[in-house]
Structure 1
């Protein structure tokens, strides 16, 4: 099993936003870099955005706002911090990928502007103060590109 490294401050931000939105889904984007050994390192997080739509079993981000925030992170880090994936919650659920999560991860991997061939999807399952975070990293597509495969990755904080 491979790893994803997440700063402790990012993990606190994820849990704070998950608690705030509970019992509705929330999410955002992950920024950082991919280390020389191929493991993603998450150093910053962008939340859902002011125009995001939160529902019990679905979340639609404020994409334009998130892109502007990523541009700021990129600029402030002199290009060291870029998009590495998305994150969202499954309130009162498990941090497992749904069919929609798999489709979204495949779309991200195919989107040229995302700039990441193996994007990460971090999912938090649980409830207020009790979130379990599991990373899923895109591996590829199969069956004529209709299905996607991902690897579960262990999360470690630094």
Structure 2
């Protein structure tokens, strides 16, 4: 079972429901503070679709209700392991994080972070994805974005 999202250019994202439920679990456990992690998967160029296959949240984060910082070296080691064990088929696709008691809208910090990621020579993808999940202890809302041409382009959830 997948959750599907599409943007104005017809690009799609497929996120397994199991992974989305793992994210919701992490978010609810960290509430009312922010938390986040990364996605790995692959891009199906022929079908213009990003296929998310795994997600990881670091064990060590520093967070408040409006900010979180993670230990990047832990995630870099995990990314290298995934890349090697999949013979290069799976790689970094993007980020996810929560906005407790807020909206699933990117902040200026979110945009700056994705700009930095897209320009990083160690990252295989120039158009990273961003999933923001707002959460208020009972209700959630989600929104995907893709960084392209110095802006974040939203995706709409498909039923």
When normalised by structure 2's length, the TM-score is 0.87
Q: Establish whether residue 46 from structure 1 lines up as the match of residue 56 from structure 2.
A: yes
Deviations 1:79-125 (A, max 9, x none): 22110001100001110000110111111111111111110011001
1:53 counterpart SS class:
strand
CA distance in 2, matches of 1:122, 1:60: 16
CA distance in 1, matches of 2:69, 2:157: 24
Q: Establish whether residue 30 from structure 1 lines up as the match of residue 32 from structure 2.
A: no
Structure 1: segments with no counterpart, 5+ residues:
142-148
Structure 2: segments with no counterpart, 5+ residues:
1-6
1:78 counterpart SS class:
coil
CA RMSD of aligned residues (A): 1.6
Candidates 150, 153, 156, aligned match of 2:155? 153
Deviations 1:34-71 (A, max 9, x none): 11233211110010x23211111001011111111112
Change (3 A) 1:75 1:128: farther
Aligned residues between the structures: 149
1:97 counterpart SS class:
coil
Question: Runs of at least 4 residues of structure 1 off by over 4 A?
Answer: none
Determine if contact 2:12/2:48 at 8 Å carries over to the other structure. no
Determine if contact 1:106/1:138 at 8 Å carries over to the other structure. yes
When normalised by structure 1's length, the TM-score is 0.87
1:114 counterpart SS class:
coil
